[in-house]
């Protein structure tokens, strides 16, 4: 997919000019971003989330070993991804590995936000990022050779680096995630970028699973829809264009252990969380080794320099916090040195 053409977009206006860098933290970015979603007409009736499976949790060592084993990806899987820009793969994680991940993510979220995750309607989208350098358990999931090899194979590239991890919790009552593609977000000069979106519990429809429009080139249909810094016009414009062109959308539940992978040109969204359980996900983004930072990152790229310290516009995207995850250099639990230690 190296030859994909970058979307040009319409001319800038005062509300569409995103050329200035983001000047707040990552949580503020998410608070802003979800405000751009059009929630008119959304279903609001709540449902009880199904109980989590009752399975024993594996040891840290067992998780590390599991996530180092290759996943049986087929040629048909790769062709599907190349054609549609996404794929959902079952059984990437065992149920025990998923629930162990969830317990750790809940602990981290509750410590950061002083909140009772799953404690009732909170109507917010919470985010934590760059946890892996100082957390050996999370490091095993984020630097997983299994996950990184899937990403490299889907992109058909020989090696991938980590952009960053992202712990995402769509709290009960939180509204839609707006239609978007990640090409807006990542300040990388390549389209060989993929995000592994790993739910930390099953996701029924009422919880708001990620939904993918396809095939991959439907972004061209909405290239003329102006992205705006406030209001819901962009989200609504994309939805109306997709409806007018009868664009196919895959919106299906996630089984426990199922992980989706989406390309940076794939348009996706997610509905409101209408359950009594937080929809917690570990989303890790990987890109082809050798990519550079674009010359002019924008506010939509958020706090990108936190993910690539010491790397500037035009530089090769390869800070100590962007290790090559495939081919694997060793155990995923090994610490990575760098500026995060300061």
Q: Of 336, 298, 307, nearest to 139 (Cα)?
A: 336
The DSSP bridge partners found for residue 210 are 270
DSSP for residue 51: P
pLDDT in tens, 255-276: 999 999 999 999 999 999 999 9
Helix (H, G, I), strand (E, B) or coil at 301: helix
Q: How far is CA 308 from CA 162, 300, 340, in A?
A: 10, 16, 11
The DSSP bridge partners found for residue 281 are 168, 199
pLDDT in tens, 16-36: 666 777 788 888 888 998 999
- pLDDT range class, residue 300, cuts 50, 70, 90: confident
In the predicted model, is pLDDT for residue 323 greater than 60? yes
Separation CA 176–CA 133 (nearest Å)? 30
3-state DSSP percent of the chain in helix, strand and coil, to 5: 30, 20, 50
- pLDDT range class, residue 303, cuts 50, 70, 90: confident
In the predicted model, is pLDDT for residue 339 greater than 70? no
Q: Phi, psi at residue 295, to the nearest 5°?
A: -70, -30
User: Taking the CB of residue 205, how many other CB atoms lie within 10 A of it?
Assistant: 16
């Amino acid at each position: 997919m190296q030859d994909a053409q970058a979307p040009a977009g319409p001319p800038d206006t005062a509300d569409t000019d995103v050329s200035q860098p983001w000047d707040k933290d990552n949580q503020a970015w998410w608070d802003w971003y979800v405000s751009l979603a059009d929630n008119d007409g959304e279903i609001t009736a709540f449902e009880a989330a199904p109980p989590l499976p009752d399975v024993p949790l594996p040891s840290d060592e067992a998780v590390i070993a599991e996530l180092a084993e290759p996943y049986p990806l087929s040629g048909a899987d790769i062709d599907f991804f190349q054609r549609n820009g996404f794929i959902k793969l079952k059984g990437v994680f065992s149920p025990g590995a998923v629930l162990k991940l969830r317990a750790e993510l809940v602990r981290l979220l509750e410590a950061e936000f002083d909140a009772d995750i799953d404690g009732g309607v909170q109507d917010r989208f919470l985010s934590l990022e760059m946890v892996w350098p100082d957390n050996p358990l999370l490091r095993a999931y984020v630097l997983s050779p299994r996950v990184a090899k899937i990403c490299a194979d889907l992109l058909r590239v020989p090696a991938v680096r980590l952009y960053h991890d992202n712990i995402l919790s769509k709290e009960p009552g939180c509204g839609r995630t707006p239609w978007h593609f990640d090409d807006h977000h990542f300040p990388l000069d390549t389209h060989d970028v993929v995000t592994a979106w790993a739910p930390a519990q099953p996701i029924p429809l009422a919880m708001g699973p990620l939904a993918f429009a396809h095939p991959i080139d439907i972004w061209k249909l909405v290239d003329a829809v102006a992205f705006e810094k406030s209001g819901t016009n962009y989200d609504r414009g994309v939805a109306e264009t997709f409806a007018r062109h009868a664009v196919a959308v895959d919106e299906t539940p996630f089984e426990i252990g199922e992980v989706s992978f989406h390309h940076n040109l794939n348009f996706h969204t997610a509905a409101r969380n209408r359950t009594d359980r937080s929809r917690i996900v570990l989303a890790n983004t990987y890109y082809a080794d050798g990519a550079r930072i674009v010359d002019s990152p924008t506010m939509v790229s958020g706090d990108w320099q936190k993910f690539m310290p010491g790397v500037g516009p035009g530089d090769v995207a390869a800070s100590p916090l962007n290790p090559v995850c495939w081919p694997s250099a060793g155990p995923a639990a090994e610490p990575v040195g760098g500026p995060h230690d300061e």
